[in-house]
Structure 1
Amino acid sequence: MGRKAGGVYIDPKKFGSLAKPCMKETIAFLNCLALNHNNDDKCARQKELLSACVDAQASKPKKPWGSINYHLQRLSKGRK
């Protein structure tokens, strides 16, 4: 099932395979916290890796064209 915007259907499951930045680092950090009873002093390495990944993502330029749902909403407003 997808969302309807005018006469176009978008299947959000189709876009589930897109890259998820820093997912491995986030999972590693959360697993470390779970194993160490939320003591982040013992998870310093995972915390540093996650911070480095997030900082690297922040410096990347964003896509100038936006998301497909944004453009579908924008186009459907013009038709009304």
Structure 2
Amino acid sequence: MGRKVGQLRINPKKFGSLNKPCMKEMASFLNCLSLNNNNDDKCARFKEQLDACMASQTNARKKLGNINYHLARLSRGRK
């Protein structure tokens, strides 16, 4: 079920399903930086792709949180 490390209990099932949406873009950007001695001027294309991916992820989360807020508000009214 879970592992105990001292007093801390870790549930590996909880962390196994984490979604990593921009991992490919981040890996390509970091690879470009390492090849070009941390000169991000040469990696502008990869940086733009990573920025676009991160911006799309933050917009998706805001919409979902808004829906959850309203559902919770409506369920409180029923009780």
Give the TM-score of the pair, scaled to structure 2: 0.61
- For 1:1-80, list aligned pairs within 5 A: 1=3, 3-4=8-9, 11=11, 13-14=12-13, 15-60=15-60, 61-63=63-65, 64=68
The answer for unaligned runs of 5 or more in structure 1 is 5-9, 66-80
| Consecutive aligned runs of 4 or more in structure 1 exceeding 6 Å deviation | none
Displacement after TM superposition at 1:16 (Å): 2.4
Report the alpha carbon displacement of residue 62 of structure 1 after superposing the two structures with TM: 4.1
What percentage of residue pairs aligned between the two structures are identical?
56
Higher alpha-carbon Rg: 2
- The secondary structure found in structure 2 opposite 1:40 is coil
Q: Distance in 2 between matches of 1:21 and 1:62?
A: 16
Structure 2: state its 5+ residue gaps.
Answer: 70-79
Q: How many residues are aligned here?
A: 59
- Normalised by the length of structure 1, the TM-score is 0.61
Deviation at 1:18, TM superposition (A): 2.2
